[in-house]
Amino acid sequence: MLAAVRAASIGDLFAEIPEEVRRREPLALPAGLSEAEVVAELRRLAGKDVPATQLVSFLGAGVYDHYVPAAVDAVVSRGEFLTAYTPYQPERSQGVLQTIFEFQTAVCELTGMDVSNASMYDGSTALAEASILAGVQTRRGQVVLSAGVHPEYRQVLATESAGYGPRPRTVGVRTGAATDLDALAAAVGDDTAAVVVQQPNFFGALEDLPAVAELAHAAGALFIVVADPVSLGVLEAPGRLGADIVVGEGQALGNAMNFGGPGVGYMAVTTKLMRRIPGRLVGETVDLEGRRGYVLTLQTREQHIRREKATSNICSNHALNALATLVYLSWLGKDGLPQLGLHCARKAAYLRERLLALPGVAAFTAGTVVREFAVRLPRPAADVVEALVPQGYLAGVAVSRFAGLFAGLVPGGEDAGDAALDDVLLLAVTEKRTRAEIDAFVAALGDLLASGEVGDE
């Protein structure tokens, strides 16, 4: 081998590495183990971890602990789906193409939009893609979005726009956590490509979509809604309320939490914007013998067209996650999704009522909530979350982890700075939480707050 590469010795292969950084002695590695010993050691290490599924979880903020039926894993684990790549050859890929087409159809039915693609990484990058689309369509240079849009989505949008796309401008939320419509109207101008709100927003508050749509369209801008798909079982579809683009994250539909990923983003648009949608579109057609078939109808990616004409360079094919979403929606059916949304809404309302009865706990999110809401605690929320883990609870998300991304954008933020959110806890309630679990959690939290063992007043 050395002769083949014309090297006299092993040392010659590493000649470009400076002498002073080369290791001269062998690594102090332990003796090798048998397969059985390795498995035993891995199990010992794994035993130190406590999976989220073994705790009573009220975590949310974009990833949710919904029940995933066995049918989902049974289908997505099939080899023809699990190992499938992009279906470039329709004659070999009818099964995958059909699932993508049906996923697109489901997204359109949920959102009330005309056309959907199936090539988004997750909700945050879907929003970034929608912003770029709006900029190209309107030839304007700014996107105005609410602070109620997920802070990590806003970070991704800022990163993407730094190199390409309209610049984001964020306006705050008012008391109760819904978007300040007066501030939104003041921020929209002649250079606004799109106005963006989330429904329900990051804090669980419901936004006035028709009012925002009217505001955006009056300025000649597009209206983008970041929509939670579970809530669409009980809320009116954004497409029927004036949305031009609807994006979101589909993890809650049939995908486990998986340590935060992978997810499955979605994007749906009006027919007018169809040719600017990034990624791929699967269409239905017939072959020469009149049989139904599916093909990649539109692919505006740089792999297929000139780079300067491509709509996106960061979209990808999350077809397996999209398939899980499709199986889950089929399993629920048209009656099941509204029932799921109602279960979550009723349990969230019950938990909030119980929490607000505790001394020192106050509402942050006002009005009706679907699954998620925020409260203010008499103690630092991060300390409360940490203290309740040993008791078997994931109490929610301390909003202080997003410190800096809400500065001056929430009530009290101008005076208190990042500390304005130190006491804010964001909780999500899915259909998995029982009344007994909720009651026990509230009791544990009440005892913890009364003990004074966490944080300072």
**pLDDT computed for residue 414 by the predictor:** 45
**pLDDT computed for residue 209 by the predictor:** 98
Judge whether 19 lies within some domain.
Answer: no
Boundary residue ending a domain (269, 291, 326):
326
**pLDDT bracket for residue 453 (50, 70, 90):** confident
* Residue in 217, 273, 210, 205 with CA at minimum distance from that of residue 245: 273
Phi and psi angles of residue 104, each rounded to the nearest 5 degrees, phi first: -55, -40
As a whole number, mean pLDDT of residues 309-317 equals: 67
Judge whether 305 lies within some domain.
Answer: yes
The domain of 217 spans: 70-326
- Shared-domain flag, residues 309 and 345: no
Boundary residue ending a domain (280, 305, 326):
326
- Shared-domain flag, residues 290 and 426: no
Work out the burial of residue 369: count CB atoms within 10 Å of its CB; fewer than 13 is exposed, 13-18 middle, 19 or more buried: buried
415: pLDDT strictly greater than 60: no
Mean pLDDT of the chain: 91
As a whole number, mean pLDDT of residues 449-455 equals: 79
Contact in structure between 243 and 209 (CB atoms under 8 Å): yes
**pLDDT computed for residue 428 by the predictor:** 98
**pLDDT computed for residue 446 by the predictor:** 96
Judge whether 8 lies within some domain.
Answer: no
Phi and psi angles of residue 164, each rounded to the nearest 5 degrees, phi first: -165, 130
What digits encode the pLDDT tens for the residues 174-211?
999 999 999 999 999 999 999 999 999 999 999 999 99
- Shared-domain flag, residues 322 and 357: no
**pLDDT bracket for residue 236 (50, 70, 90):** very high
The edge-to-edge listing of strands for the beta sheet with 397-398 is 362-363, 372-376, 424-428, 397-398
Residue type for 324, please? A
What digits encode the pLDDT tens for the residues 154-182?
999 999 888 777 999 999 999 999 999 99
151: pLDDT strictly greater than 90: yes
- Shared-domain flag, residues 263 and 390: no
As a whole number, mean pLDDT of residues 384-410 equals: 93
**pLDDT computed for residue 455 by the predictor:** 61
Judge whether 40 lies within some domain.
Answer: no
- Give CA separation, 308 vs 133, 164, 313, 316, in Å: 14, 12, 10, 18
Sign of the Cα pseudo-torsion (54, 342, 254, 427, in order): negative
CATH number for the domain that contains residue 402: 3.90.1150.10
Judge whether 281 lies within some domain.
Answer: yes
- Shared-domain flag, residues 91 and 60: no
- Record the pTM: 0.88
**pLDDT bracket for residue 456 (50, 70, 90):** low
As a whole number, mean pLDDT of residues 308-324 equals: 77
Q: Which two tokens stand for residue 272?
A: 């007018």
Return d(Cα 366, Cα 374) in angstroms, integer: 9
**pLDDT computed for residue 85 by the predictor:** 76
- Shared-domain flag, residues 121 and 59: no
55: pLDDT strictly greater than 50: yes
CATH number for the domain that contains residue 194: 3.40.640.10
Judge whether 61 lies within some domain.
Answer: yes
- Shared-domain flag, residues 194 and 167: yes
**pLDDT bracket for residue 87 (50, 70, 90):** confident
- Shared-domain flag, residues 349 and 320: no
Question: How many domains is the chain partitioned into structurally?
Answer: 2
- Shared-domain flag, residues 352 and 216: no
- Shared-domain flag, residues 253 and 106: yes
DSSP result, 382-393: HHHHHHHGGGTE
**pLDDT bracket for residue 314 (50, 70, 90):** low
- Give CA separation, 92 vs 197, 297, 304, 323, in Å: 41, 16, 19, 18
277: pLDDT strictly greater than 50: yes
As a whole number, mean pLDDT of residues 87-91 equals: 79
As a whole number, mean pLDDT of residues 230-251 equals: 97
Boundary residue ending a domain (279, 301, 326):
326
Judge whether 276 lies within some domain.
Answer: yes
- Shared-domain flag, residues 83 and 181: yes
* Residue in 211, 213, 231 with CA at minimum distance from that of residue 221: 213
Pairing mode, if any, of strands 393-394 and 372-376?
unpaired
What digits encode the pLDDT tens for the residues 93-104?
899 999 999 999
Judge whether 33 lies within some domain.
Answer: no
Helix 123-138 vs helix 151-163: angle between axes, to the nearest 10 degrees? Answer: 50
The edge-to-edge listing of strands for the beta sheet with 142-146 is 115-116, 265-269, 245-249, 222-227, 192-199, 142-146, 167-171
302: pLDDT strictly greater than 70: no
- Shared-domain flag, residues 375 and 311: no
299: pLDDT strictly greater than 80: no
Return d(Cα 7, Cα 12) in angstroms, integer: 6
Return d(Cα 166, Cα 194) in angstroms, integer: 9
Return d(Cα 308, Cα 288) in angstroms, integer: 35
Contact in structure between 247 and 120 (CB atoms under 8 Å): yes
